[in-house]
Amino acid sequence: MNTIDHEDFEAVIGLEVHAQLLTQSKAFAPVAAQYGQAPNTQISPLCLGYPGTLPLVNENLIRYIIKMGLATNCSIAPKSIFARKNYFYPDLPKGYQISQFETPICEGGHIDIEVEGYSKCIGITRIHMEEDAGKSIHDQDPYNTLVDLNRAGTPLIEIVSEPDLRTPQEAYAYLSKIKQIVQYLEVCDGNMEEGSLRCDANVSVRLRGSEKFGTRTELKNMNSFRNVEKAIDFEIYRQIELIEAGGEVVQQTRLWDTSKMETRIMRSKEEAHDYRYFPEPDLPPIIVTNDLLDEIKEELPELAHIRQQRFIEQYQLSLVDAITLTENRYLADFFEELVLKSDQVKASVNLVLSDVLRVLNEQSIAIHNFPLSVTRLAELLNLRASDKVSSTAQQTIFNAMLEQDSSAQELAETLNLLQVSDSNYMDGLVKQVIDANPDEAARYKEGKKQLMGFFVGQVMKASKGKANPKMANELVRKYLD
Amino acid sequence: MSKQTIRSVQKRIASGKLRLRNLVAEHLSTIEKRNSDINAVTHIDYESAYERADNIEAKIKEGKAGPLAGAIIGIKEAICEAGKPATCASNILRNFKSVYNATVIDRMHNDDALFLARHNMDEFAMGSTNEYSVHGTVRNPHNIGYVTGGSSGGSAAAVAAQFVQASLGSDTGGSIRQPAAYCGVVGLKPSYGRVSRYGLIAYASSFDTIGPLTNTVEDAALILGSIAGHDKNDMTSVTNPVADYMYAVDNPNKNIRIGIPEEYFGEGLDAEIHQKIMSLIYQLEVDGATLVPIKLPHSEYAISTYYILATAEASSNLARYDGVRYGHRASIDQIKELESEDTALNKMYKLSRTQGFGMEVKRRIMLGTYVLSSGYYNAYYAKAQKVRRLIQQDFLQAFEQVDIIVSPTAPTTAFPIGSKLDEPVQMYLNDIYTISANLAGIGGINVPIGFHSNGLPMGLQFMASVFEEERLIASARLIERLQT
C-alpha cells in the first residue's frame, strides 16, 4: 500500500454503510428472511410485486433502527415517513425500493473512533431504513440472467457519516466501530465478506487548509474491511496525481477492482439515476412515542466503550487488554462468564487473551463456535489455582482439551501432570538431590543463593516434572539456609 | 327484473318463491343477450356459479346465511379474485390471473355474495369514458352510442343492464360516481381508509378507494357494511368503528344542514341537471333540511392538483409491469431486431411496456415521471401536495357548518362515444365535481335523479365528512324516496 507523501493534500471521506438487519421476517412482508435458502423460496405475492399487494411494516425494523440511532447518539424523529426510490432492475420487483428520504428516523449522531494512538469524534448525518433488492445472477447460465428474490424486501439500515474522515485508516476504524456497535446491539451480524455489512465511500481531496471540498467520487464494490482501506487509499492517490498533472477530478461512481487493486469508472454524473423519490403513499408515517423510546432504551445492552471503562475499573485491566476483550460483545461475555465461574480475574484474562484468541485465529472461528465451554475452562483454571498442576501443564491440558472431551482433572491424571505435594515424598527427594550435589550445596551455604534454581530444577528432573516447585523451593531453603 | 334489493331477494328465496340458481340463469341470459352490445362483462364464472347458488340457497333456508346471500355480484377487473383474470383492461396483464383474493372479495364471500362476472374498465382505471380498454369500449345501456363514463364503466353498465345485482368498482378521481351518474345507478365512494385496498390493483395509492355500484341506496349500504373496516393487510385502512349503514337507510335524518358550494354550480354545468338538483334540494328543505350556501375556494385547482399527484403515484405503481416476472413481455425476436444502442435489458423493458400499455396510461406515466424528476419535484409534486392540503382545509371548514354537501356528479350527461378522445383536457373536466373528494379523502355518493330530455340518466352527488358514510347513505336515501 502507498503511504501519503503528497503532504500538501488532505482527503475528505464520508462512508455510507448498509447493514442487513437480523429480523426474522422481511421489512414489509410477513415472509421469512433466512439466508442460504433455495432460490425463490422465501417469497410471497408481495415480494414478487404482484398487482394489488401492499407493504406491511415489520415492527422490529423500527425497533432495530431506533437502537442503532440511540447507540450512535442520534436524535430519533417522533414522526418520519417512508419514501419510494424508483428505478428499473430485474431484481427489484416493484420497480421501487421502499426507503426514507427527506425525513430519516435518526439524525445528527456521532461516534468516537480510535486510530493509531489518537481518538476522534465522527459525525453521523443520518440513519434510515430501506428494503434490499433481490439478486441477479449472471454467471450460472450462459444465456440468461437468473433472478433470486429471496433477498428482495429484507431489511437494511443505511448509516451515513459526515465527511469527517481524513485517512483510509480512519475509515477503517470507523467501519470497525460501526461493526462493533451493530454486533453489540445484535441488529446485524456485521459480516462484510458475506454482504451483511456493505460500504460505499465518498472521497475527495483538497489542499490542506482549504475550507472548500473538492469534487468527490463515490466508491463501490469494496467487500472487506481491508478493501475499503485499500480502495480509498488508491482513490486518494489517483485524485492527487490527477490534480498534480493539471487535470480535474470528475464526479462519478467508481468500482473497486479487487484483482487489479484499482478503482475504475462505473458511471458518470450524467448517467446517475434520478430516483424520483416521493413519499410512500401505501404506508402511514412512523410515529415513535416516548413510551416506545423508553422501552427500547431499557433494552439497550452495555456498549463497548462503556464496558471497556468498567473492565478497567472492575478488573484492573490495562486499556489495551480492555479494548481487546470488549472489541467483540461475545468475547467480552465469554470472559466475564469465565471470571464468574473461576473467580480468577488475572488467569481468565491471560487464558482468553492468549490461548482462546490464538485458537480463534488459528481455526478462523467466532467466539460462539469456540469448542470449549466456559465451565470446562473454569475447571482448568481452578486446577491450576489450587496448585495441582504447573503453568506448563495447564498449557498442555488446554491443548489436550481441544482434542478430547475429558475434563481438565481427568486429563491431568491421564497425562500424568498432577503435581506431587506429598511432604514425605518431597522431603526425601530434596534430601536425595542435596546429597547428590555436595559441592553446590556448599557453595549455596556460602551465599551463592542463585543456586536455588539449580536445586529446584534437579528436583523437577528427578520427579519427571511432577514435583511441586514451590514446595521444593521451601524444602531446599529449610535444609541449606 | 325490477329493481329488487338484496334483502328482498333473500326474503323471496327464504320463502321458496325464488330459486337462486334460476336468478343466476336469468342474469346469465341477460348477459348473453346484451353484453355483445354493451361489453361490460369480460369474464363469467360459469363453472362454480350454480353450485355456489345452491349452497347459498341452502344456507338461506337454514337461516344461517350472511347479509349478502342472494346477491349476484360483478367485480371490476382491477380487484383481484384468486384464479380469475385480473387484466386491469391492459394488454400488459392480458393473460394475468390473480393468485389471491382482495380483502373485499374475502369479506363479501364470507357474507355469502355470489361472484358471477368480471367487469370491463378503463385501462388501469385511467379514463372517464371506458374507451381505453384492451377489451374494447363499454357502451351505455341507455343508448349504446354513448359512453358509460369511467373508469368503472363496466361495473356501472352491468348494474344498469341488470347483468348483476350489484358490482364493485374503484374510485380514484370519480371512477365510481361519474359512470354511476352516466348509467343511472347508485355509486358510493367511501372515505379513503374506510375500505381495505388490499388486492386493488393500484393506480394512485393515496386516492384509490373501492366501493359499490347498485340499483338502490339500500344495496350500497349493505355492501359497504360488508367491506368496510380495518384490515391488517392495508396499513392505510383505519380502525374507526363501522357505523350501522342499514339503520341510516331505514331511518334517514331529514333535519340536516345541506351545503351548496357555489363553485359546483357555475359555468359548464348542464342547465337541466342544475334545475333538477335544485328542485330536489328545495323539496328536502320543505321536509326539514336547512340549505347553507358554502364556498370551497380552492376547487378550481382540484383537477391540476389531481393530475400531478395521481400520475406521480401511477408512474411508480406501474413500474412493476416490466415483463420480468409476469404479464406481457416482448418476444426475443422483436428485442433482437430493435435497432437501438440500449442494452438487451433496456430494449426488453421499452418494447414490453410500449406494447403493453395503451395511450392514456403512457400519457399519465410520462406526466407522473416528469413531475417527480429532479429539478421539477418542487414546482409540481411538492406544490400540488400543498394545494391538496388547502382543498382538504376547504372541506374541513365547510363541514363545520354543514352535515352534507350537495353537487352535480358530472357537468353533463353521457356523451357520444369517441367525441372527446382527441381532447384529453376536455375529458379530464368530466371529473371536475368528483375529484375533490378524492383529494380530500372524503366519501361521496351518486344518486340517480331521473332522465334528461336527451334520454340519458342524470346524477346528484353528496359528499360527507371523512368516515361519515352513514350521512351519505341517509341523504341519498332521502333523494331516492322523493323519486318513487
What DSSP string runs through A282-349? TSPPEE--HHHHHHHHHHPPPPHHHHHHHHHHHH---HHHHHHHHSSHHHHHHHHHHHHHH--HHHHH
Q: Do A265 and A347 fall within a single domain?
A: no
In a domain, A365, yes or no: yes
Task: Yes or no: say if A52 and A264 are a contact pair by the CB < 8 Å rule.
Answer: no
What's the per-residue H, E or C state across A23-56? Answer: CCECCCCCCECCCCCCCCCCCCCCCCCCCCCCCC
Task: Yes or no: say if A434 and A480 are a contact pair by the CB < 8 Å rule.
Answer: yes
Q: Do A62 and A126 fall within a single domain?
A: yes
Of A50, A88, A274, the CB nearest to B319: A88
- List, by residue number, the catalytic residues of B: 76, 151, 175
Coil, strand or helix at B290: strand
Query: DSSP for B22-41?
Result: HHHHHHHHHHHHHHHHH--E
Average pLDDT of chain A to the nearest whole number: 92
Of A57, A88, A94, the CB nearest to B349: A88
pLDDT at A45: 94
Chain A residue closest in CA terms to B371: A276
Spell B145-158 as b/e; 16+ CB within 10 A means b. ebbbbbbbbbbbbb
Task: Yes or no: say if A131 and A88 are a contact pair by the CB < 8 Å rule.
Answer: no
Of A48, A86, A281, the CB nearest to B325: A48
Kindly list the residues from chain A whose CB atom is less than 8 angstroms away from the CB atom of residue B312: 278
ipTM of the complex: 0.96
Kindly list the residues from chain B whose CB atom is less than 8 angstroms away from the CB atom of residue A99: none
Mutate: best of B79, B230, B322, partner A, most A CBs <10 A: B322
Of A52, A274, A282, the CB nearest to B98: A52
Coil, strand or helix at A419: coil
Cβ atoms within 10 A of the Cβ of B129, count? 30
Cβ pair A276:B316 closer than 8 A: yes
Q: How far is A156 from chain B (nearest CA, A)?
A: 21
Q: Do A95 and A194 fall within a single domain?
A: yes
- Is A51 part of the contact surface with chain B (CB cutoff 8 Å)? yes
CA distances B474 to B181, B224, B250, B422, Å, are: 18, 13, 8, 40
Percent of chain A with pLDDT over 90: 69
Kindly list the residues from chain A whose CB atom is less than 8 angstroms away from the CB atom of residue B320: 49, 51, 93-95
In a domain, A3, yes or no: no
At A335, give phi and psi (nearest 5°): -60, -45
Cβ pair A54:B198 closer than 8 A: yes
Cβ atoms within 10 A of the Cβ of B34, count? 20
In a domain, A51, yes or no: yes
Domain extent at residue A284? 9-292
Instruction: Compute the distance between CA of residue B448 and CA of residue B410 in angstroms, rounded to an integer.
Output: 12
Residues 146-165 of A with CB under 8 A from B: 147
Of A56, A94, A284, the CB nearest to B320: A94
Q: Do A65 and A209 fall within a single domain?
A: yes
pLDDT at A186: 95
Q: What is the CATH number of the domain that holds A438?
A: 1.10.10.410
Q: How far is A288 from chain B (nearest CA, A)?
A: 16
Task: Yes or no: say if A13 and A201 are a contact pair by the CB < 8 Å rule.
Answer: yes
Beta B139-140 vs B143-147: how paired, if at all? Answer: antiparallel
Kindly list the residues from chain B whose CB atom is less than 8 angstroms away from the CB atom of residue A48: 325-326
Query: Which has more pLDDT, A467 or B87?
Result: B87
Helix (H) or strand (E) holding B247: helix B245-250
Instruction: Compute the distance between CA of residue B294 and CA of residue B297 in angstroms, rounded to an integer.
Output: 9
Closest CA to B236 of B184, B330, B313: B313
Does residue A3 have a pLDDT over 50?
A: no
Instruction: Compute the distance between CA of residue B110 and CA of residue B96 in angstroms, rounded to an integer.
Output: 25
Kindly list the residues from chain A whose CB atom is less than 8 angstroms away from the CB atom of residue B192: none
Task: Using the structure block, give the residue that is written with the C-alpha cell 442503532.
Answer: A68
Kindly list the residues from chain A whose CB atom is less than 8 angstroms away from the CB atom of residue B316: 84, 86, 95-96, 276, 278
With a CB cutoff of 8 Å and minimum separation 6, the contacts of B182 are B140, B146, B147, B148, B149, B153, B156, B410, B413, B414, B456, B457, B459
In a domain, A1, yes or no: no
Q: Do A276 and A338 fall within a single domain?
A: no
Closest CA to A263 of A216, A205, A222, A206: A222
Closest CA to B201 of B87, B82, B316: B87
In a domain, A227, yes or no: yes
Q: Do A251 and A119 fall within a single domain?
A: yes
Kindly list the residues from chain B whose CB atom is less than 8 angstroms away from the CB atom of residue A50: 98-100, 326
Identify the weakest region by mean pLDDT among A331-335, A379-383, B196-200.
A379-383
Number of domains, chain A: 3
- The three grid cell numbers given for residue B33, joined into one nine-digit string: 343477450
Please identify, among A383, A414, A445, the residue that sits at the C-terminal boundary of a domain: A414
Phi-psi region of B184 (alpha: psi -120 to 50; beta: other; left: phi over 0): left
Q: How confident is the model at residue A1 (pLDDT cuts 50, 70, 90)?
A: very low
CA distances B484 to B19, B255, B448, Å, are: 28, 20, 12
At A205, give phi and psi (nearest 5°): -125, 155
Closest CA to B454 of B161, B184, B92: B184
What's the per-residue H, E or C state across A69-118? Answer: HHHCCCEECCEECCEEEECCCCCCCCCEEEECCCCCCEEEEEEEEEECCE
Q: Number of CB pairs < 8 Å for A and B?
A: 97
pLDDT at A462: 83
Q: Do A185 and A325 fall within a single domain?
A: no
At A288, give phi and psi (nearest 5°): -105, 110
Instruction: Compute the distance between CA of residue A100 and CA of residue A285 in angstroms, rounded to an integer.
Output: 11
At A165, give phi and psi (nearest 5°): -85, 140
pLDDT at A117: 84
Q: How confident is the model at residue A4 (pLDDT cuts 50, 70, 90)?
A: very low
Bond prior to A391 in cis (omega within 30° of 0): no
pLDDT at B305: 97
Closest CA to A214 of A250, A256, A174, A186: A250
Cβ pair A56:B232 closer than 8 A: yes
CA distances A411 to A158, A355, A418, A466, B55, Å, are: 51, 17, 9, 14, 77
Q: How far is A29 from chain B (nearest CA, A)?
A: 10
Q: Do A146 and A163 fall within a single domain?
A: yes
Task: For residue B243, give the DSSP letter.
Answer: P
Kindly list the residues from chain B whose CB atom is less than 8 angstroms away from the CB atom of residue A55: 235
pLDDT at B1: 39
pLDDT at A5: 53
Please identify, among A240, A266, A292, the residue that sits at the C-terminal boundary of a domain: A292
Query: CB-based burial of residue B350 (10 Å sphere; 0-12 exposed, 13-18 middle, 19+ buried)?
Result: middle
pTM of the model: 0.90
Task: Using the structure block, give the residue that is written with the C-alpha cell 482527503.
Answer: A11
Separation of CA B324 from chain center: 30
Per-residue pLDDT of chain B (484 residues; tens, 9 = 90+): 347 999 999 999 999 999 999 999 999 999 999 999 999 999 999 989 999 999 999 999 999 999 999 999 999 999 999 999 999 999 999 999 999 999 999 999 999 999 999 999 999 999 999 999 999 999 999 999 999 999 999 999 999 999 999 999 999 999 999 999 999 999 999 999 999 999 999 999 999 999 999 999 999 999 999 999 999 999 999 999 999 999 999 999 999 999 999 999 998 999 999 999 999 999 999 999 999 999 999 999 999 999 999 999 999 999 999 999 999 999 999 999 999 999 999 999 999 999 999 999 999 999 999 999 999 999 999 999 999 999 999 999 999 999 999 999 999 999 999 998 888 888 888 899 999 999 999 999 999 999 999 999 999 999 999 999 999 999 999 999 998 7
- The three grid cell numbers given for residue A285, joined into one nine-digit string: 408515517
In a domain, A468, yes or no: yes
Kindly list the residues from chain A whose CB atom is less than 8 angstroms away from the CB atom of residue B369: 276
Of B201, B313, B369, the CB nearest to A281: B313
Q: How far is A137 from chain B (nearest CA, A)?
A: 14
Mutate: best of A28, A31, A53, A54, partner B, most B CBs <10 A: A54
Kindly list the residues from chain A whose CB atom is less than 8 angstroms away from the CB atom of residue B80: 51-52
Beta A252-257 vs A217-220: how paired, if at all? Answer: parallel
Coil, strand or helix at A179: helix
Task: For residue B152, give the DSSP letter.
Answer: S
Instruction: Compute the distance between CA of residue B475 and CA of residue B249 in angstroms, rounded to an integer.
Output: 9
Q: How confident is the model at residue A273 (pLDDT cuts 50, 70, 90)?
A: confident
Mutate: best of B121, B238, B316, B336, partner A, most A CBs <10 A: B316
Chain B residue closest in CA terms to A51: B201
Q: Do A62 and A109 fall within a single domain?
A: yes
In a domain, A244, yes or no: yes
Please identify, among A292, A312, A329, the residue that sits at the C-terminal boundary of a domain: A292
Percent of chain A with pLDDT over 70: 99
Of A51, A84, A93, the CB nearest to B201: A51
Instruction: Compute the distance between CA of residue B470 and CA of residue B404 in angstroms, rounded to an integer.
Output: 11
Cβ atoms within 10 A of the Cβ of B379, count? 11
Cβ pair A96:B313 closer than 8 A: no
Cβ pair B316:A86 closer than 8 A: yes
Closest CA to B6 of B159, B171, B141: B159
- Is A282 part of the contact surface with chain B (CB cutoff 8 Å)? yes
Q: How far is B306 from chain A (nearest CA, A)?
A: 14
Mutate: best of A82, A143, A278, A283, partner B, most B CBs <10 A: A278
Instruction: Compute the distance between CA of residue A67 and CA of residue A185 in angstroms, rounded to an integer.
Output: 7
Q: Do A218 and A349 fall within a single domain?
A: no
Kindly list the residues from chain A whose CB atom is less than 8 angstroms away from the CB atom of residue B199: 52-53
Does residue A419 have a pLDDT over 80?
A: no
In a domain, A363, yes or no: yes
Task: Yes or no: say if A307 and A326 are a contact pair by the CB < 8 Å rule.
Answer: yes
Query: Which has more pLDDT, B344 or A426?
Result: B344
Instruction: Compute the distance between CA of residue B74 and CA of residue B228 in angstroms, rounded to an integer.
Output: 18
A40-98 pLDDT tens trace: 999 999 999 999 999 999 999 999 999 999 999 999 999 999 999 999 999 999 999 99
Cβ pair A56:B88 closer than 8 A: no
Instruction: Compute the distance between CA of residue B229 and CA of residue B238 in angstroms, rounded to an integer.
Output: 7
Task: Yes or no: say if A358 and A213 are a contact pair by the CB < 8 Å rule.
Answer: no
Closest CA to A203 of A361, A9, A449, A478: A9
- The three grid cell numbers given for residue A88, joined into one nine-digit string: 428499473
Cβ pair B235:A90 closer than 8 A: no
- Is A84 part of the contact surface with chain B (CB cutoff 8 Å)? yes
- Name the interface residues of B facing A (CB cutoff 8 Å): 79-80, 86, 88, 93, 96, 98-100, 102, 197-202, 204-206, 232-236, 312-313, 315-316, 318-320, 322, 324-326, 345, 349, 369, 372-374, 377, 381
Instruction: Compute the distance between CA of residue B452 and CA of residue B462 in angstroms, rounded to an integer.
Output: 19
- Is A53 part of the contact surface with chain B (CB cutoff 8 Å)? yes
Of B102, B369, B373, the CB nearest to A52: B102
Kindly list the residues from chain B whose CB atom is less than 8 angstroms away from the CB atom of residue A53: 198-199
pLDDT at A428: 85
Bridge partners (DSSP) of residue A155 are: A131
At B260, give phi and psi (nearest 5°): -115, 100
pLDDT at A451: 86
Q: Do A473 and A364 fall within a single domain?
A: no
Cβ pair B200:A96 closer than 8 A: no
Identify the weakest region by mean pLDDT among A303-312, A366-375, A389-398, B209-218.
A389-398
Task: Using the structure block, give the residue that is written with the C-alpha cell 556460602.
Answer: A446
Q: Do A207 and A253 fall within a single domain?
A: yes
